[in-house]
Structure 1
Amino acid sequence: MEIDAAREVRTTCPYCGVGCGVLAKVAADGQVSVRGDPDHPANFGRLCSKGSALAETIDLDGRLLHPEISGRRAGWNEALDLVASTFSQTIAEHGPDSVAFYVSGQLLTEDYYVANKLMKGFIGSANIDTNSRLCMASSVAGHRRAFGSDTVPGTYEDFELADLIVLVGSNLAWCHPVLYQRIAAAREKRPGMKIVLIDPRRTMTADIADLHLAIAPDGDVALFTGLLAYLGQHNALDCGYISAHTAGFGQALFAASKLDLAGVAAATGLSEDELTRFYSLFAATAKTVTVYSQGVNQSSQGTDKVNAIINCHLATGRIGKPGAGPFSVTGQPNAMGGREVGGMANMLAAHMEIENPEHRDRVQRFWNAPAVAQKPGLKAVEMFQALADGRIKALWIMATNPVDSMPDADAVEAAIKACPFVVVSDVLTNTDTVRHAHVRLPAAAWGEKDGTVTNSERRISRQRAFLNLPGDARPDWWIVAEVGKRMGFGEAFSYSSLAEIFAEHAELSGFENDGARDFDIGAYAGIDAAGYRELAPFQWPAPSRQESDTLAGCNPSSIRFFADGNFYTPDRKARFIAIRPTVETRTSPDYPLILNTGRVRDHWHTMTRTGKSPRLSQHIAEPFVEIHPADAGHHGISDADIVRISSPRGDVLVRALVTARQRQGSLFAPMHWTDQFAARGRLDVLTAPLTDTISGQPALKHVAARIEKFSAKAFGFAVMQQLPVAIAASYWAVAKCRSGWRVELAFADDDIDWAAFAGSLFGTPPGADILAYHDRDAGQHRIAAFDADRLSGALFVAPGPVAVSRGWAAEQLEENHHGQRERFRIVAGRAGAERPDAGAIVCTCYGIGANQIATAAAAGCTTIDAIGGALKAGTNCGSCRAEIRAIIQVNRVQAAE
């Protein structure tokens, strides 16, 4: 399909589960710009820093543009025939459970639907699972236990209507910034709104919290079980709702009452006063929304955490009503769409149950399939364990990077390397997973592909293409359908358009439904190409008949579930789950600290997309670990040291960030860095394949670890025009800048020929002009190479962390350097007085640094809005507003002193 050059296209952001609308404009010269869609009901024009930088991530640098077999270029027919014949032969020899698909929340719903249909309906195995297993499987399991269905009851509007918002295990300010900004804006209008943050770390989200509960890792079950007991003791129950619409309350309350306030305090690490403040606030506030994310889900107790939260909402009748309900926010753009099509190993399409023979029969008849999988397949962790022991002999990985994102990542990599046949569909030539594929299939990227995604509030939106497909790249649905045809299932996979797939998906959702199932978009079963092209965002359910009696649990006028009961259990009553909290001790004398893994503000997953954007690396450019000052002192660690974090499974090297925001006894490190961006930064080599026994979700927030200072003899920082092929340093981390690359360095040995090292780093051309400064006694070395008037690269070496203005040094790659004075400034590592150092970048959208904000604050800009007026910082996505506030506060303290 050829795309017209100059136009603006409505599409949807490919990052988190907020599901923001995006307007992508392609100019006549092909330049792309993006802005938030002011008419999209998820974001009303707001975009976070990642979404704002989408146009910087769509270049073809590093793209996989042609099919490859064993490293050589191949045509589509050869590659697809090989995939189909190998899977067919493996199934014939070893049975359908000998093959597997590992898919992704990055897929569009149509891609997901076709892949699930092929595996469960025509191959006849349920061995299809998704990286969404790593982010929200416990929510799914908790919903199904309580509601009888995987239903998110509320909508984003509830965040603005609530009088109390409880944020549990969710750094909303960084991980779902647009929702955070919606809450912050609502609070400005209604200052009486209260916000409680429950998180071991004092994250940037704490900026708007009235109460921060620095809970012990995995203390959430005890916290909310204690809350249920408190509600019962203080007559804060909705007895009418409990009696009419629920079952099992007595058992749940009895189990909760076994733990008194002192016991809750011991299990959570919180004081009894803190608990009482939170419990009394919850009890007194009818309009309460509890928002939870990975801190709840990524746990060996994740499902119990979810149900402990839901129990409290059921007990107070605070569910499905404006401003009230439990609310799971998903990590990926189409985690919800994947759930809708049954993209997980223990689900069937259209929210049907694989364990239910009636549901299996219904799906088989609808698909006219030879055999629908009869039992749940292998969940993600189990799948890669089966790969390691040889049960799975052919694996197809789509749109994800498990060598970096799965727990026990080195073992996962070893399993993939040992597998007889691995297919990877991806957009990049080099990722830590793609490098091990026997067959590489070039997939369409965001901006090139069409389809739908579903966000965390059940809103289905279109992603639309505004770029032509490059090279031989093809959409994922087309690739899977072509393999299905070649495996002998031609009629079932002979799709002529995306609209046809979406219509089939919608028809299945309404097939023999009549209100028996929550997911129903049967109103769109007859959609044609024109209707699909113009499809506006909508929330489900949207049944073919709009009468309210077809919607068992939902009022169609509000699109909220369960305010009047009507759950999807056999008796239409919700289930309280009796939970008895347990305290897990994973630390030991050898591994005395608890590692919590997570994300940063400006990067996404394994950086295959955000790593392309120069501005998204300005804020945080290397892997790091947060450590409390007391723990840092105990281990002899100073701020900016390189440290080694170890677990029984491996070790990584990262930069130390000493901060009182971190809970003592705990560490926090982000999971984004890969072998493409750091020497030893793959954090999930440390995490264990320990999972929740119900959901199968890995426990990525509670890892026993130790930390020690890495004895670096020399530190370095460099900028260069070209990305080095190899870097001979113990520690390195590269990041894109506007005209090249920057790299942080550390060395175990300082007996190094620094001129030769700089030459290998820069790829210095013959005849380059070299300017150098060496003070060997002080361990100081500065080397700059010039190709004519352009800086090829500059290296700064010191015995400790290098004190050089990073932003200024990177800017020198863009400028002409005619005179010696300008060149000597580069070697000196600082600009002249006329160009003050901006400092570490705080506002990614406008490139505003901490020093600039501090200077403006000292000059009288003592509010965030004043800083915004002077510098524009914080006026776009707003993700940096908490950091701006902190800088203002520091400046006030210094002024007072």
Structure 2
Amino acid sequence: MSTRTTCPYCGVGCGVVATVAENGVSVAGDSAHPANYGRLCVKGAALGETTGLAGRLLAPQVDDQTVSWQTALDTAGERLNAIISEFGPQAVAFYASGQLLTEDYYAANKLMKGFIGAANIDTNSRLCMSSAVTGYKRAFGADVVPCSYEDIEKSDLLVLVGSNAAWTHPVLYQRIVQAKHDNPALKVVVIDPRVTATCAIADLHLPLAPGSDTALFVGLLNMIAAGTGSLVDFEEGDAALAAAHEWPPEVVATFCALPRDVVTTFYDWFITAPRAMTLFTMGINQSSSGSDKCNAIINVHLASGKFARPGCGPFSLTGQPNAMGGREVGGLATQLAAHMNFEAADLARVARFWGTERLAQTPGLMAVDLFAAIGRGEVKAVWIMGTNPAVSLPDSHAVCAALAACPLVIVSEVVADTDTSRYAHIRFPALAWGEKNGTVTNSERRISRQRAFLPPPGEAKADWWIIAQIAQRLGFGPAFAWQHPHEIFSEHAALSGFENNGMRAFDISELARLTLEEWDRLEPHQWSVTPEALRRGWRSSGHLRTVPVSPVRAMAQPTTLYPLLLNSGRIRDQWHTMTRTGTVARLMQHIAEPVVEISPADAARFSLCEGDLVHISSPRGVMVARARIHHGQREGELFTPMHWNHCFARQGKVNVLVAPVCDPHSGQPESKQTAVRIAAWQPGWQGELYAREMPELPADLYWVRKATDGAFHFTLAGSGDAVAWLTTWCQTKGWEMQTVRAGTVRNLLAWDNGQLMLGWWSDTRLPVIAHDVISQAFITAPATAQARHNLLAGQSPSCSPAPGRTVCSCYSVGENAIHAAIAAGCDSTAALGNALRCGTNCGSCLPELKALLSEAANEPRRAQGVAFEFGKQFFPG
């Protein structure tokens, strides 16, 4: 049986078709969905592999004891009521997630703001998109994303700034690639301190100094004004111009650490392009001046007239599947439902619609401030829904300390063990993707249905149901008497049109009249924003607004003790804090552990080699990662992924380093720049451990857990005897052991009735042993003594070379196989695809394939700011 539903990863909002069979769930792209037309990235293609029940939370728990739903709900209600009675509603907070469905989000917001009576509900979208929300509201008077994906094909210039879309929005990136292939005149500019995979299609790359984006766009505004005159049609136009007048190209170039001719080339391209789009995301938003950065971008589109037309506009790409839906229902502490604000008329309107006299009258605590208030004891109860703030928030040591001291922590979760759920007094088992029924909204304002195709496992329940049950126990039952998510959606849609009359941008009230059957069949629906309305905006004055912006540097700056700037972000095959993707073996093949990218010059400066383990430290904490020397990394700067946590690595959390510095307007933290230092760590040994049962790891080891079919897999490092603790563990199990010690090598195999139970290979540096050989041995044990001896020695049973680092996760194609194919005559990505299949599915690996081809051809590295040549070899077949 096949079901059309929506991918639960990034904000592209791809449609997928899930098919349930006896051997599991398979997932394919939905060719009819306008967000992706059948394309999927490697994460989306692997969704079927995330639907198992291993590690699921399947029953409610109170104080670490499994209980009935009745007991869990009654206990939560009693404890919340007690705190509200003694300390008032401001002592309670909710922290939600862009992973929730719109119906779940609506229920949570209504309960917290409308009936508990405080606005202390915020969301992890605060960490991603809140600066964009602020920017749009200041310019247009409403949180309106004024672009659609189809504008990409209609544009003459695409500017990607603070976005490694090739890895973070792969399907949208492939759409850009296709648009460039179909229209060779289309130019692409990438603005990013790093040479990322996205640069593979750039005609121009501007590797500017971290945090200097504002100056680049303020300078562009100055150049636009010089050619077109004043901005008399916009509020604050003269003030915005005056601020920009101080930023001629030579000043911009110095501030951004770019050659002047590169800056002027970009300006010329933007000004002369008939149509231009700027696509931006975390690299812009996650800044102490993120709101101003967003408005600097919006300003140039307003001033140049490159908005409210096809192929034009400032386009914020959301990072989560329903960050936009959360904004629609008021999931941020600083807004009301249906894009309304904490203003007298809106407050009265929402109170009338909900029939409440308890509506919160002022904005609530934003994410970072919320957890600081928990730490101070001001907020005494927090309900966390579908997110992992112990990992994702800055200064995570302080966040964990706050949760540990909080009198009441409630967690609604899919997974039994997360960094955050370890602090929970009450755990509610929530439905996972595949079991949920509702809607989500993607980056281009398109509402899509998420349909259930699997039955609820154990006692897991929908988030909206859990919220409604708690509302009843708090005395608000009549307002939460829904029996189906369709009823919640209808209420949400009706509120969007309530007393609207075209005065508010968000209005989907026509969907409020859908019957249950019509809602079940709902096709992807984009809520309308007409060009006429965009040109007028939703400000009371009837005018759009340009915002005066004065560029400032990032709050974090290098010092003598902390001489490097650390940037953090996403990688291609992992998602958020890995609770879903971290369990899929093929998604661990590309980058399997915390890494840190460092320039060759800095590697030499700090005496680091490729593959070294390093300590990265800031005044707040320390993390451990493996060094990768990357020629596209600017000197004096580092990059590390944000995904790893205490469930997948010891000391792998990047946010233990990051200061809780936020944008004063949006409350979004500055996650992209942290002053750190780096030093090599040389453990006595490193090793690879595979075990059929979960091992008991000593507390003093560094470890990384890696998903592997058929076994638990860890990379370990430490000092002392590498085998002693494993020997003791195997002896308690009664397993037969084989060991070998030769020089620094310490290897061990353990057997039980001819079945391989444990394998351990170690040396002073990470051993080289083919992962697929070990995995196969756990499925089919070596039959002969010689084969066992070869396995113990870390040798492949065949003469075939090790595949090397995985480049194509879809087909598990390694770097060594690609090098061999290039040596055999494959001179394009199409040829590699024909020979190895790499690059022929989701396309996420195409930039890396092109890079390998370039290296093989001994092409000189591109100088900073030099135009990139685009080739048709991106398209296999």
Give the TM bin, normalised by the shorter chain: over 0.9
Tell me which of 543, 553, 578 is aligned to 1:583: 553
Q: Provide closer, same or farther for how the CA distance between residues 413 and 728 of structure 1 changes in structure 2, counting only shifts above 3 A.
A: closer
The amino acid that maps onto 2:622 is: D
Match of 2:256 in 1: 268
Distance 2:192 2:517 in 1: 47
The amino acid that maps onto 1:302 is: G
Matched residue of 2:433: which SS?
A: coil
Distance 1:364 1:324 in 2: 38
Alignment of 1:120-159 (within 5 A): 120-159=113-152
Match of 1:735 in 2: 706
Q: Provide closer, same or farther for how the CA distance between residues 811 and 764 of structure 1 changes in structure 2, counting only shifts above 3 A.
A: farther
Tell me which of 346, 355, 371 is aligned to 2:334: 346
TM-fit CA distance, 1:756: 3.7
Q: In terms of mean alpha carbon deviation, does 528-537 or 691-700 score higher?
A: 528-537
Distance 1:371 1:167 in 2: 44
The answer to whether 1:823 aligns with 2:788 is yes
Matched residue of 1:151: which SS?
A: coil
Distance 2:228 2:689 in 1: 61
Distance 1:771 1:868 in 2: 42
Instruction: Assess if the C-alpha contact under 8 Å between 1:13 and 1:21 holds in 2.
Output: yes
Match of 2:864 in 1: none
The amino acid that maps onto 2:328 is: E
Instruction: Assess if the C-alpha contact under 8 Å between 1:103 and 1:400 holds in 2.
Output: yes
Tell me which of 590, 604, 612 is aligned to 1:619: 590
TM-fit CA distance, 1:473: 0.5
The answer to whether 1:780 aligns with 2:745 is yes
Provide the aligned C-alpha RMSD in A. Answer: 1.6
String of CA shifts for 1:643-697, please: whole Å, max 9, x gaps. Answer: 0000110001111111111111111011111111111101111111100000000
Tell me which of 9, 15, 30 is aligned to 2:9: 15
Distance 1:800 1:30 in 2: 40
The answer to whether 1:840 aligns with 2:840 is no
The amino acid that maps onto 1:405 is: S
Distance 1:167 1:729 in 2: 44
Instruction: Assess if the C-alpha contact under 8 Å between 1:153 and 1:562 holds in 2.
Output: no
Distance 2:695 2:65 in 1: 24
The answer to whether 1:714 aligns with 2:685 is yes
Match of 1:406 in 2: 393
Distance 2:374 2:733 in 1: 49
Distance 2:228 2:586 in 1: 49
The amino acid that maps onto 1:406 is: L
Alignment of 1:564-713 (within 5 A): 565-584=535-554, 586-713=557-684
Alignment of 1:744-893 (within 5 A): 744-747=715-718, 749=719, 751-752=720-721, 754-757=723-726, 760=729, 766-775=733-742, 778-893=743-858
Instruction: Assess if the C-alpha contact under 8 Å between 1:614 and 1:735 holds in 2.
Output: yes
The amino acid that maps onto 1:721 is: R
Alignment of 1:539-578 (within 5 A): 539-541=526-528, 554-555=529-530, 565-578=535-548
Distance 1:810 1:731 in 2: 23
TM-fit CA distance, 1:832: 4.2
TM-fit CA distance, 1:723: 3.1
The answer to whether 1:51 aligns with 2:51 is no
The amino acid that maps onto 2:200 is: D
Q: In terms of mean alpha carbon deviation, does 587-596 or 298-307 score higher?
A: 587-596
The answer to whether 1:188 aligns with 2:157 is no
The answer to whether 1:62 aligns with 2:55 is yes
Instruction: Assess if the C-alpha contact under 8 Å between 2:223 and 2:248 holds in 1.
Output: no
Could you tell me the TM-score, scaled by structure 2's length? 0.96
Unmatched 5+ stretches in structure 2: 861-877
Matched residue of 2:857: which SS?
A: helix
Instruction: Assess if the C-alpha contact under 8 Å between 1:481 and 1:494 holds in 2.
Output: yes
Distance 1:524 1:182 in 2: 29
Instruction: Assess if the C-alpha contact under 8 Å between 1:66 and 1:471 holds in 2.
Output: yes
Distance 2:426 2:489 in 1: 28
Matched residue of 1:625: which SS?
A: strand
Distance 2:545 2:165 in 1: 29
Alignment of 1:112-127 (within 5 A): 112-127=105-120
Q: Provide closer, same or farther for how the CA distance between residues 804 and 729 of structure 1 changes in structure 2, counting only shifts above 3 A.
A: farther
Instruction: Assess if the C-alpha contact under 8 Å between 1:8 and 1:25 holds in 2.
Output: yes
Instruction: Assess if the C-alpha contact under 8 Å between 2:56 and 2:416 holds in 1.
Output: yes
Match of 1:109 in 2: 102
TM-fit CA distance, 1:806: 3.1
String of CA shifts for 1:774-798, please: whole Å, max 9, x gaps. Answer: 12xx311222223334322221111
Distance 1:819 1:387 in 2: 61
Match of 2:417 in 1: 430
Q: In terms of mean alpha carbon deviation, does 473-482 or 518-527 score higher?
A: 518-527
Instruction: Assess if the C-alpha contact under 8 Å between 1:218 and 1:299 holds in 2.
Output: yes
Distance 2:583 2:803 in 1: 23
Q: Provide closer, same or farther for how the CA distance between residues 409 and 840 of structure 1 changes in structure 2, counting only shifts above 3 A.
A: same
Distance 1:804 1:818 in 2: 19
Tell me which of 364, 374, 378 is aligned to 2:365: 378
TM-fit CA distance, 1:766: 4.5
Unmatched 5+ stretches in structure 1: 1-6, 542-553
Q: Provide closer, same or farther for how the CA distance between residues 842 and 727 of structure 1 changes in structure 2, counting only shifts above 3 A.
A: farther
Instruction: Assess if the C-alpha contact under 8 Å between 1:167 and 1:292 holds in 2.
Output: yes
Q: In terms of mean alpha carbon deviation, does 490-499 or 692-701 score higher?
A: 490-499
String of CA shifts for 1:251-285, please: whole Å, max 9, x gaps. Answer: 11111111232221222111111111111111111
Instruction: Assess if the C-alpha contact under 8 Å between 2:769 and 2:802 holds in 1.
Output: no
Tell me which of 192, 199, 206 is aligned to 1:213: 206
Q: In terms of mean alpha carbon deviation, does 471-480 or 846-855 score higher?
A: 846-855
The amino acid that maps onto 1:34 is: V
Distance 2:683 2:438 in 1: 50
Distance 1:419 1:288 in 2: 49
Distance 2:814 2:6 in 1: 30
The answer to whether 1:280 aligns with 2:268 is yes
Match of 1:530 in 2: 517
Paired-residue identity, %: 48
Runs of 4+, deviation exceeding 6 Å = none
Matched residue of 1:132: which SS?
A: helix
Matched residue of 1:391: which SS?
A: coil
Distance 1:14 1:383 in 2: 26
TM-fit CA distance, 1:772: 2.2
The answer to whether 1:441 aligns with 2:458 is no
The amino acid that maps onto 1:376 is: P
Distance 1:453 1:524 in 2: 14
Tell me which of 52, 66, 75 is aligned to 1:73: 66
The amino acid that maps onto 1:768 is: W
Could you tell me the TM-score, scaled by structure 1's length? 0.94
The answer to whether 1:360 aligns with 2:327 is no
Instruction: Assess if the C-alpha contact under 8 Å between 1:300 and 1:691 holds in 2.
Output: yes
Distance 1:721 1:361 in 2: 61
Match of 2:867 in 1: none
Alignment of 1:23-34 (within 5 A): 23-27=17-21, 29=22, 31-34=24-27
TM-fit CA distance, 1:430: 0.7
Tell me which of 92, 95, 109 is aligned to 2:85: 92
TM-fit CA distance, 1:727: 4.4
Instruction: Assess if the C-alpha contact under 8 Å between 2:722 and 2:746 holds in 1.
Output: no
Q: Provide closer, same or farther for how the CA distance between residues 729 and 841 of structure 1 changes in structure 2, counting only shifts above 3 A.
A: farther
String of CA shifts for 1:693-737, please: whole Å, max 9, x gaps. Answer: 000000000111111111322121222223324245532111111
State how many pairs are aligned: 859
The amino acid that maps onto 1:172 is: A
Q: Provide closer, same or farther for how the CA distance between residues 228 and 512 of structure 1 changes in structure 2, counting only shifts above 3 A.
A: same
Distance 1:666 1:91 in 2: 47
Matched residue of 1:889: which SS?
A: helix
The amino acid that maps onto 1:795 is: W
Distance 1:892 1:827 in 2: 39
